[in-house]
Amino acid sequence: MIKEIIVVEGKDDTAAIRRAVEAETIETGGSAINKDVIQRIRLAQQRRGVIVFTDPDHAGERIRKIITAKVPGCKHAFLPQEQAEKNGDIGVENASPEAIRYALSHVRTDYEAGGTEISWSDLIDAGLIVHPQAAARRLEAGKLLGIGYCNGKQFFKRCRMFQITKEEFADAMRRVLDQFE
């Protein structure tokens, strides 16, 4: 049984989580998270810890940002879009039990006062921003670092929030650049 409570978007996500692992969930009911749901997430964070596991799409990212802003210190699990897609629909409910277990075994914790050595210029030098292949490189780097896909500004923020080290970043970028050569 997973100690933390997993925050998902809806009942289909809960069903997918339960097919993969023994865990309890809190459902947000979509991107319009009300104050009662936030309060339950806060209580869960205080008592057992929380893993935010939302869909790898715009709505899922919006929910993740809301929770992160209102309930600091949560853990985050990320699925690449291609592992959460079925017939054009993207969501945790479409992921295989293996993909869910992998994502949950590679959670990242956010830190309010994140301290990383990664700089904005590191992202430029790695071709993750202002580069013709920046989006594709961020997609691959996000998978390897376990922080999901996002735009350049959010990628930088996640590197800081999850305290990605220079070594982790360099290793991931070596692997990403090997794919693009």
Mind spelling out the 3-state secondary structure of 97-111? HHHHHHHHHCCEECC
* Residues whose CB is less than 8 angstroms from the CB of residue 8 and which lie 6 or more positions away in sequence, other chains included: 14, 17, 25, 26, 27, 28, 53, 54, 92
The Cα–Cα gap between 119 and 162 comes to 14
pLDDT at 112 (0 to 100)? 52
**β-strand 85-86 against 89-90: which pairing, if any?**
antiparallel
pLDDT at 91 (0 to 100)? 95
Beta partners for 86?
89
pLDDT digit string (tens) for 15-37? 999 999 999 999 999 877 999 99
Q: What is the pTM of this model?
A: 0.76
pLDDT at 111 (0 to 100)? 64
Torsion angles phi and psi, residue 24, rounded to 5: -105, 150
pLDDT digit string (tens) for 80-135? 999 999 999 999 999 999 999 999 999 988 765 445 578 999 999 999 999 999 99
Mean pLDDT, range 74-78, rounded to an integer: 95
Beta partners for 52?
7, 76
Token pair 């998270």: residue: 33
pLDDT at 156 (0 to 100)? 93
pLDDT digit string (tens) for 139-169? 999 999 999 999 999 999 899 888 899 999 9
pLDDT at 101 (0 to 100)? 97
38-42, 45-49, 118-122: which range is least confident on average? 118-122
Token pair 């969501």: residue: 91
Q: Residue 180: pLDDT band by 50, 70, 90 thresholds?
A: confident
Question: What's the Rg (C-alpha) of the chain?
Answer: 16
pLDDT at 115 (0 to 100)? 52
Q: Which domains are seen in the chain, by residue range?
A: 1-110 (3.40.1360.10), 114-181 (no CATH)
Please answer whether residues 78 and 142 qualify as being in contact, where contact means their C-beta atoms are separated by less than 8 angstroms: yes
